[in-house]
Amino acid sequence: MGGLAAAIRLAADGHSVEVFEKNERVGGKLNLLERDGYRWDTGPSLITMPFVYRELFAAAGRKLEDFVELAPVDPVCRYVWPDGTRFDASDSVGRMTEALENLSPRDVRAYFRFMAYSRRLYDLTAEPFLFNGINHWRDFFRLNPLTAFKIDPFRTVHQAVKSYFRDPRLVQLFDRYATYNGSSPYQAPATLNIIPYVELGMGGWYVKGGLYALAQAYLTLAGELGVNVNCGPGFAVEEILVRQGRAVGLRLANGREVAADRVIANSDVAYTGKELLPARGKWSGKIGKLEPSCSGFVLFLGVKRQYSQLAHHNIFFSPDYAAEFDHIFKLRQPSFDPTIYVCWTGLSDPDHAPPGKSNLFVLVNAPYLSTDQSEAFDWERPGATQAYRDLVVNHLENFGLSNLSQNIEVEEIMTPVDLAMRYNADRGAIYGVSSNNRFSAFLRPPNRSRQFKNLYYVGGSTHPGGGVPLVTLSAKIVVGLIKQDEQKGH
């Protein structure tokens, strides 16, 4: 999505742009699976910050609403705990207040204080960190020195959340937002508490027809602007060609060499450094030492019945959140009592499954692939993936999705190994590097290469981070850098 957004902006500015994608469709992890009358989005499932997409289309002289229809989702998410407690989070102040009064009346005021705090974090960080690139140490001088202390970088997400809420269920609910960029709430800086405001303050949205419709809209717009998009294994990039320290083109799997004035890599930055660029041990070694985000274990289930207790988005929480993240980031093992996310787009788009049936997208956070075989969980060991699949399905049955295993008629599984292979994701990480320390959240790999001229990076593994709105913003940042370099005659 970052690469397509960059192509759109450059083509709208009059550049000739060509895109190369190794898979059969554009969109990256925001993709599509169809089988036997069922349809699933394979990656992102919720849209936030719709103004980002509107601005992209406006930059090309178009209106987003002429390409896709965004529909608000309410509840934004349904949360369920092992004791059976259910809580519907909403971006409606009235409905959220009522839900909080039913769950934990003493925390109603705490919620509004927390959201005011989350809004302050957004106001302080959006302009310098989200809408502008941090591509050189000098960029930090743009910041007000007091901002460094006001954005709460010295506490963890969990420490900050716990200081507001007394009910442990609400602490767990707001801790969860750290996983939106693949991090642990017990390690990531409290600055990430901007995310609740982005979702609950600005609202959560669904794209009618499925989120892949947004990728198709990007592709359609790019085509209208004259961008040449090439998809398929033959168009996989095998090397970024460098001459005298300058990126000058690409070599493709089909043997073709493509000359270019500038190259934008939408591939994982770590993968790009280790596999696509000339050997530079210092750079590749440095980027390889950054801790990846978590990966994921995904089930695409076609189920012969529907479950009335499911909303569009659902979270089934584990009883011990700290232990779950210890498993993922310290032990490098999948949790055997995991939190489970279930998305049922068929509730909003009934044609995503045959009548009376349901298409369930099931996601569990999983450890990134470890190079240390003594601690690595081997997903390819005979029976390992099936055993973990059975564990997840059994957990969902215990949460009330009765007889789920007997009603599954279509099934696909995606493991961290699959994510690494299909998307060239470093160690299977979904969101690039994690934010599990106070510095990595702000010092992601920059959007302009520090080693090679005319080479730029977009996507979730670079600044400002993962998620569809942020990778779309990374494209805006990159195009701004290209304009700067053009003006300087670089």
Q: In the prediction, which pLDDT does 313 show?
A: 98
Question: What pLDDT, on the 0 to 100 scale, is given for residue 281?
Answer: 41
> What CA–CA distance (Å, rounded) separates 293 from 373?
19
Tokens at 274, concatenated: 């280790």
Specify whether the CB–CB gap between 111 and 190 falls below 8 A.
Answer: no
Per-residue pLDDT of the chain (490 residues; tens, 9 = 90+): 999 999 999 999 999 999 999 999 999 999 999 999 999 999 999 999 999 999 999 999 999 999 999 999 999 999 999 999 999 999 999 999 999 999 999 999 999 999 999 999 999 888 777 777 666 555 555 566 666 678 888 899 999 999 999 999 999 999 999 999 899 999 999 999 999 999 999 999 999 999 999 999 999 999 999 999 999 999 999 999 999 999 999 999 999 999 999 999 999 999 999 899 986 544 555 666 778 899 999 999 999 999 999 999 999 999 999 999 999 999 999 999 999 999 999 999 999 999 999 999 999 999 999 877 556 688 989 999 999 999 999 999 999 999 999 999 999 999 999 999 999 999 999 988 888 776 655 667 889 998 899 999 999 999 898 899 999 999 999 999 999 999 887 7
pLDDT of residue 373: 58
- Residue 308 neighbours by CB under 8 Å, 6+ apart: none
Torsion over CA: 334, 338, 344, 345 (sign): negative
Reading the block at residue 145, the tokens are 């020195």
The predicted pLDDT at position 134 comes to 64
8 Å CB contact between 199 and 118: no
In the Cβ-directed half-sphere of 79, how many Cα atoms lie within 13 Å? 22
The secondary element (H helix, E strand) that includes residue 419 is helix 416-423
Structure tokens at 418: 């699959």
Domain extent listing, the chain? 295-428
Backbone angles phi, psi at 417, to 5 degrees: -65, -40
Can you read off the two tokens belonging to residue 268?
A: 């994982």
Q: What is the pTM of this model?
A: 0.94
403-461: pLDDT as tens digits = 999 999 999 999 999 999 999 999 999 988 888 776 655 667 889 998 899 999 999 99
Cα 299 from Cα 198, distance rounded (Å)? 27
Residue labelled with tokens 């207790």: 309
Identify whether the C-beta of residue 89 lies closer than 8 Å to the C-beta of residue 317. Answer: no
The per-residue pLDDT for 436 is 77
Q: How confident is the model at residue 449, as a pLDDT? A: 92
Copy the structure tokens of residue 153.
């970088």
